[in-house]
Copies of this chain bind each other. A is one copy, B any other.
Amino acid sequence: MSINYAILGILSYKSYTGYDIKKIIQDSTFMYWSGNNNQIYKSLIELLDEDLVTSEIQHQESSPSKKIYTITDKGLIKLKNWILSEPSLPEFKNMFLVQMAWSDSLSSEELNELLAKYENDIKTQIIMQKEKRVRDAFKPNRTTREFRLWDLIYDNIISSYENELIWIQKVKRMLISTEGGE
């Protein structure tokens, strides 16, 4: 499971509990998994079985016990090998394109409304992602280079949405400019 590498990465930064990891993944845009319990706790069991992480139980008064996971040397090697491995291509899954593919059955008004809704949703996303960039708590910053790498990851996400915005605005222009034409 690819989420295992995301978790190994997080643990290479610092030791965490499953609950911590869950929150980090849920709050992250680029670590795109939902981060539900089932995924995280199952992953951690797998990583333990493969000796890529160890766990230490920490009892607390008046709070549930924690299991703190720490990456092993074997885990660090596995992580580095994966980082060095062939990158995979981004997956663009956009149900809106499927909707658009058959939207010639709509009237101009209906189609314009649909496009406007999508444009609005994208604009909202851009604002949200820009806020996230400023507010996010989990942002490794051990070296100047690491800080820049993480900054560029935020750039990627924001520019993806901005590119989508430019595209949908082009779509609107192209369809309005030819309305009723031919």
Chain A positions near chain B (C-beta within 8 angstroms)? 2, 5-6, 9, 12-13, 30-32, 79-80, 82-84, 86-106, 110, 114, 117-118, 121-122, 125, 140, 142-146, 148-150, 152-153, 155-157, 159-160, 163-164, 166-167, 170-171, 174-175, 178, 181-182
Contact = CB atoms under 8 A, between A and B. Distances in A.
Given A5-B98, A82-B99, A104-B143, A121 B32 contact: no
A14 to B, nearest CB: 12
Most B CB within 10 A of own CB, among A12, A13, A164, A182? A164
Contact of A171 (B101, B152, B182): B152
The secondary structure that dominates the A interface is helix
Contacts of A153: 97, 100-101
A115 to B, nearest CB: 9
B164 A152 contact: no
A118 B87 contact: yes
A135 to B, nearest CB: 18
Contact of A175 (B31, B125, B145, B167): B145
A12 B145 contact: no
Contact of A114 (B2, B13, B83): B83
A104 B142 contact: yes
Contacts of A114: 83-84, 87
A90 B92 contact: yes
Most B CB within 10 A of own CB, among A5, A102, A140, A163? A102
A121 B163 contact: no
Contacts of A145: 104, 175, 178
